[in-house]
Structure 1
Amino acid sequence: MLKYIKANRNEAELSVKLFEGERSLVITGTIGFILSVGIAIYIFFQGPIISPEGNVRDAFSFNAAIGIFIISIAAVLPLTKLGTGKRKVVRWFFILSSLYSYTIETVQNFRGISPRFTREGTAVDIIAGMIFGVVSLVLVTLAIILALHFFRMKKPYERPLLIIGIRYAFLSVLAANVAGIWMILLQDRLTGDGGNVIVLHGLGFHALQTLIVPAWLLEKANVKESLKKRLIHFSSIAWMLSILFIGIQTAMGRTVFELTTFPILACLFTLVCLGITIAACVLLIKQREPIYQRFF
């Protein structure tokens, strides 16, 4: 029994921690939040529209979304077991791509120029927008590389429950990237009479929080491992079905904010995912353990 306890203790000590060694990525993500706060203050006093094409509300939401995404990448990157050199390359591609994206999205909107699909800008603005598209493809490529890496990982690996959640999350991220390419091909975010591809694009990326958080919570819950795995699978599959229904509704050129079949199904499956997260929180509360104890 004593050997078993010591073995478990040693395993816990060796377990890879979230965010470990990724201070630079965390700082990069935080920059996005700082920019969003500053833009929100500007919008409060001046409004969002800057002629002829600028809308700083887009910059607000974009910077916040990239910030959340990069911080989420910082959380999971230590679990990849990439070598020091490869991990450094991936890290700096994410950092440089994010910094360029922050800059072009913010500066161009404040200049009154669309950062992606300008019709009023100069040749330089058009080239900057084309580079923005290339940078977006770099982020897509990095997401695919990480997704493939997580799916190719072989047992035994540390924190297996988190790995399950991460794998599903990257499937959702791939769907978000497809939506991003869709917008590039459209040269717009709107499709049909009411479809808005940016909704699918944004929600797809949020899987890095909505699917990893319940996995992290259940990892700490004092219940059977088989039940934990089933709950993570149920939560993740529900989220993926929600993304699927949102994608179908968008492809039909209709808004996801209407009370029709596909948006209602998407909402119901999202509630399933949320319910499992709440259930995981309740399990921890019943154990009388602080939810944020040993977060890293």
Structure 2
Amino acid sequence: MSANTDSQLAKRTDMKLFSGEKLLVIVSLIGFALAAGIAVYISIYGAIILPEGNAESAFSFNAAMGMFILSIAAILPVSGLSPGKRASVRWFFIVAALYSYAVETIQHLRGINPRFSQVGTVVDQIAGGLFGVIALLIVIATALFAIPFFRKRQPGERPLLVLGIRYAFVSTMIAHAAGIWMIVLQSRYTGEAGNLIVLHGLGFHALQALPVLGWLLERSRTDEKRTRQLIHTGGIAWTLAIILIGLQTALARSVFELAMLPFLAGALLLVWLVTVVIAAVGLLKIRKGSMVQTNTVSGEENRDLV
């Protein structure tokens, strides 16, 4: 084996998902644990906490932030960043997430809206203002973190997975735009029926949906041209669906109504799902073929022993 091949294999090993990101995983699990605790609270006491608190909002935020941090933990080793830059990204998201968990949870349980309070004290206003600043910093940090994924990749740097991550970041920035939109409006609603939280949430779920497609395809061992076509198809379909949902929301209309834009968005999400199913079936065939080959070899070895 050549030295160049050894180098490529070593780089591929270094780029394993979650590699070296135990702290980020722990921080993500804190979000899930808080969401679970709040769910128990809601089941006992209900969601509304006067005068402004809503435990359901704290539940959804902590779960969403936990999933976002878990996604960052997964793809950070694939970024190609130096150890120092990786540490900077890691610690920024750790601090931002812990502060966000604390403000969102404590304020809602106190009956205070953590972002747009009308009854809070000066301390509550400061905490909410800092919360907004951190939200904007997360947008900037995410944009900067995306840049390394768009540089030219070297052989062995998991091109299919990285391609899925590239598409995911496009959708994520749309989600961040929806978050800024909510800050400007000081509400999640646009008009009578539009709800930015749907756009915000689905946009962030690209960080799971599209890298998963790349991860499945790189293991399915299908020919390179077909795998790239599939990941482009899934990535473009998801991104267009998010854009259509954004347009429907901007029109102050519900994304769940029976109308052309939601219908097209749903059809595009179905296209993404089909690409995932195709990739998963390809992987299952490979696994099944490997098992059959292993059993065949074992059988031949047993006959030789006899």
TM over 0.5: yes
* Contact 1:43-1:56 within 8 A present in 2 as well: yes
Aligned residue number for residue 203 of structure 1: 202
1 CA distance for matches of 2:230 and 2:9?
23
* Contact 1:195-1:249 within 8 A present in 2 as well: yes
CA drift at 1:127: 1.1
* Contact 1:176-1:201 within 8 A present in 2 as well: yes
Once the two structures are superposed, the pairs formed by residues 28-177 of structure 1 within 5 Å of their partners are 28-156=27-155, 158-177=157-176
1:192 aligns with 2:191: yes
In structure 2, the gaps of 5 or more residues are 290-306
1:226 aligns with 2:225: yes
CA-to-aligned-CA distance 1:108-147 (integer Å, 9 cap, x gap): 0000110100111111111111100001011101110012
**Between Structure 1 and Structure 2, which shows a larger proportion of helix residues?**
2
TM-score by length of 1: 0.93
- Which one is further off, 147-156 or 8-17? 8-17
1 CA distance for matches of 2:123 and 2:11?
51
Where in structure 1 do 4 or more consecutive aligned residues deviate above 3 Å?
Answer: 6-14, 153-157
Give the number of equivalent residue pairs: 287
Aligned residue number for residue 217 of structure 1: 216
CA shift in 2, pair 1:153/1:11, >3 Å: closer
In structure 1, the gaps of 5 or more residues are 291-296
Task: Report the identity percentage.
Answer: 54
Larger Rg: 1 or 2? 2
CA drift at 1:10: 6.8
CA shift in 2, pair 1:288/1:156, >3 Å: closer
Aligned residue number for residue 296 of structure 2: none
2 CA distance for matches of 1:129 and 1:153?
40
CA drift at 1:8: 6.4
SS for the counterpart of 1:137 is helix
SS for the counterpart of 1:254 is coil
2 CA distance for matches of 1:155 and 1:29?
30
1:252 aligns with 2:255: no
* Contact 1:147-1:171 within 8 A present in 2 as well: no
SS for the counterpart of 2:117 is coil
TM-score by length of 2: 0.90
* Contact 1:50-1:111 within 8 A present in 2 as well: yes
